[in-house]
A and B are shown apart, each in its own frame.
Chain A
Amino acid sequence: MPNLANPTVFLDLTRRALPWLVAVTAALFAVGLVLAFLAPPDYQQGETAKIMYLHVPAAWMATFVYGVMTLAALGTLVWRHPLADAAQKAAAPLGVGFTFICLGTGSLWGKPMWGTYWVWDARLTSVLVLFLLYLGIIALWRAIDDPGRAARAVAILTLVGVVNLPIIKFSVDWWNTLHQPDSVFRLGGPTIAPALLWPLIVMALAFTFLFFTLHLMAIRNEILRRRIARVTMLAASEGDALAPALAAEGT
Chain B
Amino acid sequence: MSDLLADPHLGFIVAAYALGAVVIAAMIGSVTLDYRRLSAHLAEATRALESARDGTRGRQR
Contacts and interface: CB of A to CB of B under 8 A. Distances in A.
Main secondary structure of the interface of A (DSSP, over half): helix
A234 interface: yes
Contacts, number: 105
Interface residues of B, number: 37
B7 A58 contact: no
A108 interface: yes
A54 B16 contact: yes
A224 B16 contact: no
Contacts of B17: 54
A100 B16 CA distance: 11
Given A37-B1, A54-B16, A104-B16, A238 B38 contact: no
A228 B38 CA distance: 8
Interface residues of A, number: 40
Contacts of A234: 49
A241 to B, nearest CB: 6
Interface of A: 37, 41, 46-48, 50-51, 54-55, 58, 93-94, 97, 100-101, 104-105, 108-109, 111-112, 210, 214, 217-218, 220-221, 224-225, 227-228, 231-232, 234-235, 238-239, 241-242, 245
20 contacts: A37-B4, A41-B4, A47-B3, A47-B13, A51-B16, A55-B16, A94-B27, A100-B23, A101-B24, A108-B19, A112-B12, A218-B34, A221-B38, A224-B39, A228-B38, A232-B48, A235-B52, A238-B53, A239-B52, A242-B56
